[in-house]
Structure 1
Amino acid sequence: MGTYVVTGAASGMGEAVSARLIGDGHTVVGVDIAGSDVTADLSTSEGRSDAITQLLAKVDGPLDGAVVAAGMGPKQGRERTLVEVNVLGVTEILTALRPRLAAAGNAKVVVFGSNSTTSTPLVPRVAIRRLVDGDTEGAVRILQRRGPLSGPAAYAASKIAVARWARRQAVSDEWAGSGIRVNVIAPGPVMTPLLRSQLSSSTASQVRSFPVPIREFGTPEQLAEWVMTMLSPAADFMVGAVVTVDGGTEALLRPNSWPTRLPVRLLPRMAWTMYRAPKKGRVADYSDS
């Protein structure tokens, strides 16, 4: 049996993942703003530092995996809090846990993204770049110019940024080279407390009009099953993937956007990567043989 850290463990999908892990006999160290093993506010630097201190004290040996599910939904006027939780609450905690994950030799990390990354228009590219670089203040200034759209734009930007950060780290020597498999799950609308509150608010009609071809919302338990697969030996060869579980929305809106061909501008980078000296466990080139 293994030891896992789960953020956002007190409700929604994080709670469902924790229940599945515990039900299978694993040890879970949960993190949330209340009602969990580690109580911390991930929207502040002090809160994240406190969470990290507590986690490192509670996990004093190898860590078999981490599921980063804590997050905030879109809300105008709370853009700063949102990006702090959704971006730095992922990147800072995982960076601090990396040595513990590396010590396990075959750890799995699942980062919760969102299908908002591919279904939200008018998200400023420069804000995304700022967030990937950890510049939340600069990103928020840009996002707040969106006015009434600042909440959805900030949410989508935070999830795009965290997915890009995860994919870049996933293939690095520090992560993949240490045996850590990092992947992203991108849910669509799932019946969590957040979605229930939206359905009972003035935005209910907008939420219900969001296109979901399967014509039903997901459940936390369904997403937890996907996460369990991404933590299992079935994911040993899975690195840097984004798994979309959204009832078909992404395919409906972007049927021809993915898969896509490799842009010519990336050929120099590809050639450089192909001819690097291979390290232990690394494939030396991209050949199809």
Structure 2
Amino acid sequence: MGVYVVTGSASGMGASVAARLTDDGHEVIGVDLADAAVIADLSTVEGRRGAVDALTERIDGPLHGAVFAAGIGPRRGRERMLAEVNCLGVVELATALRPRLAAARNAKVVVFGSNSSTATPLVPRAAIRRLLDGDAEAAARILRRRPGALSGPAAYAASKIAVARWARRQAVTEAWAGAGIRMNVISPGPVMTPLLQGQLANPRSPVRSFPVPIRESGRPDQLAEWVMTMLSPAADFMVGSVVTVDGGTEALLRPNDWPSRLPGRLLPRMAWTMWRAPSRGQVADYS
């Protein structure tokens, strides 16, 4: 049996994942604002540092996996909080826990993204860049310039784009894949959690008109099943992938955007990577 960290473990999808892991006999260290082994507010620098300190104190051996499910939904006026929780709450905790994950030699990490990252228009690129630089306040300033009700959805999408890009960039590096850590992203659509219920209670919420071809919301237990697969040996050959589970929304809005061809401008980078990879042990020898 293994040791797993689950953020957002007190409700919604995080709670379903934590319950599944516990039922399977694993030790789960939950992180949440309340009703968790580690009580922490991931919207502040101090809260994230406190979470890291508490987790490193509790984990005295290898960490076999981590699921970063903590998140808050879009609302105008909390652009910085969205950036802090949804992006930095993953990046800073995952980075701090990486040595413990590496010690397990075959750890799995699941980062919760969102299909909003590919289904939300008018998300400012500059805000995403600032988030990837770790500057939540600069990102929030840019996002507050979005007109009217657009700032909330744009901030939410920016936080999820940034965290997915961070995960994909890091997942393939020597520090992560080279250490045997398999990190991937799951991108749900509307899942009937307390967060979504609160959004649906607002008659002006854009979520109410979000197109879902299957005409039903997802359930936390369904997403937990996907996460369990991504934590299992079935994911041993899965690194840096984004799995979209959204009832068809992304395919409806972007049917021709995937697969897309590799841009020609990337060929020099690809050639350089392939040339230097064998000497670093990054490419298997199939001879």
Say whether the fold is shared (TM-score over 0.5).
yes
Q: Does the CA contact (< 8 Å) of 2:277 and 2:283 recur in 1?
A: no
Match for residue 52 of structure 1? 52
Match for residue 88 of structure 1? 88
In the alignment, the residues of structure 2 paired with residue 170 and residue 80 of structure 1 have an alpha-carbon distance, to the nearest angstrom, of: 26
Match for residue 237 of structure 1? 237
In the alignment, the residues of structure 2 paired with residue 152 and residue 209 of structure 1 have an alpha-carbon distance, to the nearest angstrom, of: 13
Match for residue 8 of structure 1? 8
Match for residue 116 of structure 1? 116
Match for residue 193 of structure 1? 194
In the alignment, the residues of structure 2 paired with residue 89 and residue 170 of structure 1 have an alpha-carbon distance, to the nearest angstrom, of: 17
* 1:200-215 mapped onto 2 (5 Å cutoff): 200-203=201-204, 206-215=206-215
In the alignment, the residues of structure 1 paired with residue 269 and residue 281 of structure 2 have an alpha-carbon distance, to the nearest angstrom, of: 21
Unaligned ranges ≥5, structure 2: none
Counterpart code for 2:65: G
- Following superposition, the deviation at residue 60 of structure 1 comes to 1.1
In the alignment, the residues of structure 2 paired with residue 65 and residue 277 of structure 1 have an alpha-carbon distance, to the nearest angstrom, of: 27
- Following superposition, the deviation at residue 82 of structure 1 comes to 1.1
1:33 aligns with 2:15: no
SS in 2 for 1:117: helix
Unaligned ranges ≥5, structure 1: none
1:175-199 Cα shifts (integer Å, max 9, x gaps): 0000000000000000000111112
In the alignment, the residues of structure 2 paired with residue 23 and residue 284 of structure 1 have an alpha-carbon distance, to the nearest angstrom, of: 37
More off after superposition, 240-249 vs 79-88: 79-88
Aligned length: 286
- Following superposition, the deviation at residue 2 of structure 1 comes to 0.5
Give the TM-score, by structure 1 length.
Answer: 0.96
Q: Does the CA contact (< 8 Å) of 1:274 and 1:284 recur in 2?
A: no
More off after superposition, 231-240 vs 268-277: 268-277
Give the TM-score, by structure 2 length.
Answer: 0.97
Any runs of at least 4 consecutive aligned residues in structure 1 with deviations exceeding 6 A, and if so which? none
Match for residue 173 of structure 1? 174
Q: Does the CA contact (< 8 Å) of 2:193 and 2:219 recur in 1?
A: yes
SS in 2 for 1:183: strand
Counterpart code for 1:260: S
In the alignment, the residues of structure 2 paired with residue 224 and residue 277 of structure 1 have an alpha-carbon distance, to the nearest angstrom, of: 35
Match for residue 99 of structure 2? 99
Q: Does the CA contact (< 8 Å) of 1:277 and 1:284 recur in 2?
A: no
1:14-71 Cα shifts (integer Å, max 9, x gaps): 0000000000110000000111000000000000000000000111110000000001
- Following superposition, the deviation at residue 281 of structure 1 comes to 5.7
Q: Does the CA contact (< 8 Å) of 1:275 and 1:284 recur in 2?
A: no
In the alignment, the residues of structure 2 paired with residue 280 and residue 140 of structure 1 have an alpha-carbon distance, to the nearest angstrom, of: 39
Counterpart code for 1:51: A
CA RMSD of aligned residues (A): 1.5
- Following superposition, the deviation at residue 280 of structure 1 comes to 7.0
Query: Share of identical aligned residues, percent?
Result: 75
- Following superposition, the deviation at residue 284 of structure 1 comes to 5.7
In the alignment, the residues of structure 2 paired with residue 185 and residue 277 of structure 1 have an alpha-carbon distance, to the nearest angstrom, of: 28
- Following superposition, the deviation at residue 203 of structure 1 comes to 2.8
1:93-120 Cα shifts (integer Å, max 9, x gaps): 0000000000000000000000000110
In the alignment, the residues of structure 2 paired with residue 255 and residue 269 of structure 1 have an alpha-carbon distance, to the nearest angstrom, of: 28
1:67 aligns with 2:42: no
- Following superposition, the deviation at residue 135 of structure 1 comes to 1.3
More off after superposition, 183-192 vs 75-84: 75-84
- Following superposition, the deviation at residue 143 of structure 1 comes to 0.5
